[in-house]
Amino acid sequence: MASLDPRVNRLPAIAESVSPKAPLDQFGTFEVFVQPKEGKPFQHEGIVHAPNLEMAYVLAKEAFTRRFTCTTLYVVDTREVFASPMTEGEKNSYDFIEDVPAEGGAKVSFEIYHLTKRGKQHMHVGSVKAGSPREAMVLAKVKFNTSKVVYNVWAIESDKIRFTSEEEKELWLTLPEKKFRDASDYKGGDKLKDFLERQN
């Protein structure tokens, strides 16, 4: 293949077509949450596909926090997210969560997230201790359900989340220094003005 791109010209030849893949032969799905500033709640940013939680963390850092300043992020397997029904208008999703008797046995921590505006992201509102995701939703209803309509609730067991350690927070310290990724680093006004004056 003759190309203008020297890198393309160096590529090895391969068979004409890629052999068919097995159906859905792809990595797992992980949800990504980012904290934009210290003290601000974590917000859902999107997903990455990865072979494990650690790789998901690394890929999430590149995909979601390489551009804008933030303090930290965490990731969790999508299968660990328990979601309430999605509602609209004046219907509160919490109204569709039926009370269940408190469960015995060990209680673990669950992180709770709200969607308060359709079209926007889920935001972290706090945590509860419960014996199951369902019980966590019921407890969240008592603890976090205020007068504001909540369209969707997520509950995630805290132990399933790959959090950022204190030392790892250094990963984001150099973000403000990378000015070459900012529009503000490309001021061409003076050069343009000089050029236009020379033309006149």
CA 92 to chain centre: 24
Q: Of 104 and 176, which CB lies nearer to other proteins in the complex structure?
A: 176
**From candidates 62, 98, 166, 177, binder to other proteins by CB under 8 A:** 62
**From candidates 147, 174, 199, 200, binder to other proteins by CB under 8 A:** 199
Q: Which residues of 67-102 are buried (b: 16+ CB within 10 A; e: fewer)?
A: eeebbbbbbbbeebbbbbeebeeeebbbeebeeeee
Nearest CA among 124, 116, 178 for reference residue 147: 116
Nearest CA among 84, 72, 80, 76 for reference residue 36: 72
Is residue 146 involved in binding other proteins (CB under 8 A)? Answer: no
Selected range binding other proteins among 55-63, 139-147, 156-164, 165-173, rule: CB under 8 A: 55-63
* Least distance between other proteins and beta carbon 103 (Å): 25
d(CA 94, CA 151): 8
d(CA 150, CA 115): 6
CA angle at 66 for the pair 61 and 72, rounded to the nearest 5°: 50
Residue numbers 9-48 binding other proteins by CB under 8 A: 11-12, 14-15, 17-18, 21, 24-29, 31, 44, 46-48
**From candidates 58, 86, 100, 102, binder to other proteins by CB under 8 A:** 86
**From candidates 58, 96, 103, 118, binder to other proteins by CB under 8 A:** 118
- Retrieve residue 170's tokens: 């250094």
For other proteins, the binding residues (CB under 8 A) are 1, 3-8, 11-12, 14-15, 17-18, 21, 24-29, 31, 44, 46-52, 55, 62-63, 66-68, 77-79, 81, 83, 86, 88, 115, 118-122, 152, 154, 178, 180-188, 191-192, 194-196, 198-199
